[in-house]
Structure 1
Amino acid sequence: MLIASAVSLALLFQSGSGLAFGEALSRADRYKDDPKAQQWRQTKMDPFVKPKTTALFDRCYSSALRRPMNFSLVVSFKDGKFDRVDRDSEDQVAVCMADVFAEYRWPTPPHPDFAEKFNLDLAPH
Structure 2
Amino acid sequence: MDEKRLFEACFSLAEGLMWEKTTSQLEKLPEQMYELSVMTENFVSLSKKNFYQVENLADGQEILIGAIKYLNALAIPPLRGNYEWYEYSLTILLELANPGGGPNQSGLPYLLRARNGIEQLIEWANHPEDE
* Same-fold call, TM cutoff 0.5: no
Give the structure with the larger helix fraction.
Answer: 2
TM-score under structure 2 length normalisation: 0.28
Q: Which has the higher contact order (CA 8 A, sep 6+)?
A: 1
Give the structure with the larger strand fraction.
Answer: 1
TM-score under structure 1 length normalisation: 0.29
Larger radius of gyration: 2
